[in-house]
C-alpha cells in the first residue's frame, strides 16, 4: 500500500527539464535567428528595392558583373569538386591507417579554419608567383599559377578542404567494417565494396561537405584578392565587385549584386538538401 501511495503522485509528477519549456525556447530561438540572420538579410533586400527593375537588371547583368559571376561560381564549383575527391581521400587515410605524424597531419587539416584569409592569400602568392618557390620552377615551362584564374581556384581549394574532411571523417569512423568484410567474403572486389557498401554510407556526408566548401568559396574574399590579379573581365571575383561598388558609394548596386549571390547560394543549398534526401531514401530502400 505504501509503495502504491508513493508511486501514484510520482507517476503524475512532470519530469523536470534542464531548459525552459517549448514556448520560451522557441521564442528565444526565433528572436536570436531574427537578430543574427533575418534582419540583416531583410535590410539587404530593402536597400535593393530602392532601385527600379531596369536599374536592378542593369546593375546585376553588366558584362563586368556577369564575367565575375562566371569566375566566382565556376572556380567555386571546381574547387569544391577537387576538395570532394581529395578531401575524401585524406579523410580515408586519417581514419583507416596508422602512420608516423598522423596527429600532426590531422591538426594541419584545420589550419585554414584558424589562419586569417589575408595571410593565406599572401602565403599562396609568395609560393606561386613567378619569383616564388614553386612559381619559379614552373615559369620556364610557361605555367603561371598566380595572378590569373588558376590562382583563384587554388585559393578556394585551400580554404575549402577542411569542410569536406571534417564532414566525412566522423561517418567513416562510424562505418561498420563488418559489412566490408562480409562483402569481401562474398567475393566482391575492392572497387565493388567501395561502390556498393562504403560509398552509399558516406555519400550524404560527402555531399554536405561539397555544399559547405562550395558555399564558403562563393563568399571568399581575403585569400583570393592577393593571388587573383583582380583584372576586370579576367580574374575579378564577385565579392570584389561588391566592394568596389561600396567604395564608389553605390550601395544599392552593391546590395543588388549581393542579392543575386544570395539567391544562387540558397538555390544551391536546396538542391544539395534534395540530393541528400534522395540518397538517404535510396540507402534506406536498399537496406
* pLDDT tens, position by position, 205-216: 898 889 889 988
Question: What is each CA distance from 99 to 26, 96, 173, 175, in whole angstroms?
Answer: 47, 10, 17, 21
Q: Give me the pLDDT at residue 92, please.
A: 92
d(CA 239, CA 258): 8
Does residue 157 surpass a pLDDT of 60? yes
Dist. CA 177–CA 236, nearest whole Å: 47
Say which range, 103-112, 119-128, 170-179, 268-277, has the weakest mean pLDDT.
Answer: 268-277
Q: Which of 1-5, 32-36, 154-158 has the lowest mean pLDDT?
A: 1-5
Across the chain, mean pLDDT equals: 84
Higher pLDDT, 284 or 215: 215
Residue 55 vs residue 186, higher pLDDT:
55
What pLDDT is recorded for position 79? 96
18-40 average pLDDT score: 79
- Is the sign of the CA dihedral 214, 215, 217, 218 positive or negative? positive
pLDDT score, position 18: 60
CA–CA distance, 2 with 187 (Å, rounded to integer) = 64
pLDDT digits (tens, 9 = 90+) for 97-141: 888 989 999 999 998 888 888 898 999 999 999 888 898 899 888
- Average pLDDT value for residue range 56-75: 93
Q: What is the pLDDT of residue 19?
A: 60
Q: What is the rounded average pLDDT of the residues 166-192? A: 80
Please determine, for residue 262, whether its predicted confidence score (pLDDT) is greater than 90.
Answer: no
- Residue 34 CA to residue 39 CA, distance in Å, equals 6
Containing H/E element for 161? Answer: helix 149-174
Helices (H), ranges, 49-116? 53-60, 63-96, 102-108, 111-114
Contact 268, 214 (CB under 8 A): yes
Q: Decide: residue 90, CB within 10 A, 0-12 exposed, 13-18 middle, 19+ buried.
A: buried
Residue whose C-alpha cell is 567513416: 172
3-state secondary structure of 19: coil
Name the DSSP class of 142.
T
**pLDDT the model gives residue 5:** 47
Sequential DSSP letters for 191-250: HHHIIIIIHHHHHHHHHHHHHHHHHHHHT--HHHHHHH---TTTS--HHHHHHHHHHTT-
The confidence score (pLDDT) of residue 1 equals 44
Amino acid at each position: 500500500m505504501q509503495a502504491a501511495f508513493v508511486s501514484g503522485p510520482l507517476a503524475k509528477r512532470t519530469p523536470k527539464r534542464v531548459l525552459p519549456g517549448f514556448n520560451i525556447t522557441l521564442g528565444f530561438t526565433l528572436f536570436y535567428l531574427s537578430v543574427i540572420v533575418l534582419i540583416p538579410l531583410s535590410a539587404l533586400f530593402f536597400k535593393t528595392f530602392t532601385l527600379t527593375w531596369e536599374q536592378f537588371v542593369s546593375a546585376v547583368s553588366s558584362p563586368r558583373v556577369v564575367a565575375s559571376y562566371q569566375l566566382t561560381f565556376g572556380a567555386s564549383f571546381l574547387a569544391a569538386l577537387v576538395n570532394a575527391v581529395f578531401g575524401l581521400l585524406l579523410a580515408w587515410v586519417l581514419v583507416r591507417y596508422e602512420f608516423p605524424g598522423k596527429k600532426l597531419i590531422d591538426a594541419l587539416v584545420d589550419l585554414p579554419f584558424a589562419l586569417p584569409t589575408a595571410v593565406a592569400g599572401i602565403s599562396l602568392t609568395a609560393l606561386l608567383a613567378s619569383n616564388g618557390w614553386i612559381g619559379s620552377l614552373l615559369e620556364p615551362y610557361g605555367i603561371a599559377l598566380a595572378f590569373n584564374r588558376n590562382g583563384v581556384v587554388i585559393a578556394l581549394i585551400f580554404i575549402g578542404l577542411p569542410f569536406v574532411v571534417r564532414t566525412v571523417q566522423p561517418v567513416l569512423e562510424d562505418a561498420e567494417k563488418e559489412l566490408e568484410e562480409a562483402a569481401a567474403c562474398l567475393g566482391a572486389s575492392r572497387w565493388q565494396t567501395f561502390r556498393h557498401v562504403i560509398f552509399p554510407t558516406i555519400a550524404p556526408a560527402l555531399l554536405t561537405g561539397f555544399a559547405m566548401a562550395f558555399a564558403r568559396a562563393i563568399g571568399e574574399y581575403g585569400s583570393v584578392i592577393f593571388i587573383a590579379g583582380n583584372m576586370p573581365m579576367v580574374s575579378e571575383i564577385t565579392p570584389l565587385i561588391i566592394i568596389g561598388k561600396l567604395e564608389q558609394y553605390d550601395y544599392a548596386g552593391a546590395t543588388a549584386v549581393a542579392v543575386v549571390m544570395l539567391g544562387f547560394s540558397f538555390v544551391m543549398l536546396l538542391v544539395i538538401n534534395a540530393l541528400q534526401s534522395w540518397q538517404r531514401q535510396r540507402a534506406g530502400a536498399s537496406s
